[in-house]
Amino acid sequence: MKTRVLFWTDLFWPYVGGVEVLAAQYLRALSKQGYEFTIITRCEGDDLQELGEFEGMPVHRLNVRAALSSSNPRQLLGLRRAIANLVHEFQPDLLHIYHIGMGAMLFDGIRGIPRLMTLHGPIPPEFLVPNTALATLFDSVDYVACCSRNVLEAVEENLPSLRGRSSVILNALEVPDLPPTPLSFEPPRLLTLGRLVQEKGFDTAIDAFALLKPRFPALRMTIAGNGPAFDDLKSQVDVRGLGDCISLPGWVAPEAVAALINEHTLTVMPSRVRESFGLVALQSAQMARPVVASDIGGIPEVVEDSVTGLLVPQNDVQAFADAIELLLNEPEKTRGMGRKARERALAHFTWDNHIAAYDELMRRLTSSGA
């Protein structure tokens, strides 16, 4: 008999971000291992409820934002009733809160089944003080799986009660079928990749590029992704007169990321916030590309400084420029870093181990009744 899992994630396909890519791969893999999923996520349309499917799995989309912001309590009550009806119809063996988001607190009324939470990022301490909605949610779950050691240490520091029912299941991604191409320095090409938001620090990469351009006239850079900072970044490129050597192609489909990385010499991750892990660093490592990144959050768990890339202080434009220049001036050293990055990715961030860890944890929770 299949284990039935009610799966909540704040955003889901076709919205594409790091967590959404992970969720899709997770659902595919565990479905093949005998798990049956019903997916609940939020929608942004006018309807309070929408029904769809993802590769044969039902997807229930709830307009959480509208209900929470409405002055009409009936909307919120309607969402709670919809979730209760789903639980009654599906009879899940496990609730998996995969990404907290604004709707996770709607599940605080579900009782009688084991409750697993995956934590993909640090939670600000002010949200975890006693009797807040989020602290109450954490108290109610049976186990918390954290995507990195950095995230685990932060949440256990703020919620010591989680010790003994929390651990690390390192993020991982399926290895692309596409093999890495040799690093090319003719011309050297830098890549930044991700959602274009101020927190990712892509403006720092542009400023560092401007410092490097006089010394590397052939240098090129791609800022791949979409988001609210797109126009500001495009304006910054144009004002600096770099439009002929920095491209902003917009959104890149997940299946095209490996090929995009293959077209570049190295990846730059100038995050200015506490990244929980750094999936772009892992994707780059899988394709044998070294990374120059901010020394912050969980990134050092993926990028081994001076071995698989270089870590520099966040927001330090000169430090980023110096680190990139070092790698561009030493092609063989840079290629060696790329090889070591791939070797480490294949050894320490394997998809099979990631799925096996979740399988073992969910079997333990459902067999014990938590």
pLDDT at 370: 56
pLDDT of residue 48: 46
Q: Are 276 and 212 in contact (CB under 8 A)?
A: no
**Topology match between the domains 3-172+350-368 and 189-348:** yes
Dihedral angle of Cα 97, 103, 108, 114, to the nearest 10 degrees: -10
**Sequential pLDDT tens for the chain (370 residues):** 789 999 999 888 877 778 888 999 999 999 999 999 999 998 866 554 577 889 999 999 888 877 777 767 787 788 888 888 889 999 999 999 998 876 777 777 677 899 999 999 888 888 888 878 788 888 889 999 999 999 999 999 989 999 999 999 999 999 999 999 999 999 999 999 999 999 999 999 999 999 999 999 999 999 999 999 999 999 999 999 999 999 999 999 889 999 999 999 999 999 998 888 889 999 999 999 999 999 999 999 999 999 999 999 999 999 999 999 999 999 999 999 999 999 999 999 999 999 999 999 999 999 975 5
CA neighbor of 256 nearest in space, from 300, 210, 224: 224
> What are the extents of the domains in the chain?
3-172+350-368, 189-348
Residue 282 pLDDT: 96
Residue 223: predicted pLDDT = 98
Pairing label, strands 57-62, 49-54: antiparallel
Q: Are 327 and 292 in contact (CB under 8 A)?
A: yes
Question: Could you check whether the bond before residue 254 is cis, i.e. omega within 30 degrees of 0?
Answer: no
CATH number of 189-348: 3.40.50.2000
Q: Is the whole-model pTM more than 0.85?
A: yes
* pLDDT of the residue at 49: 59
Report the CATH superfamily, name and number, of domain 3-172+350-368: Glycogen Phosphorylase B; (3.40.50.2000)
Question: Residue 11 contacts by C-beta under 8 Å, 6 or more apart in sequence?
Answer: 17, 19, 20, 41, 42, 99, 101
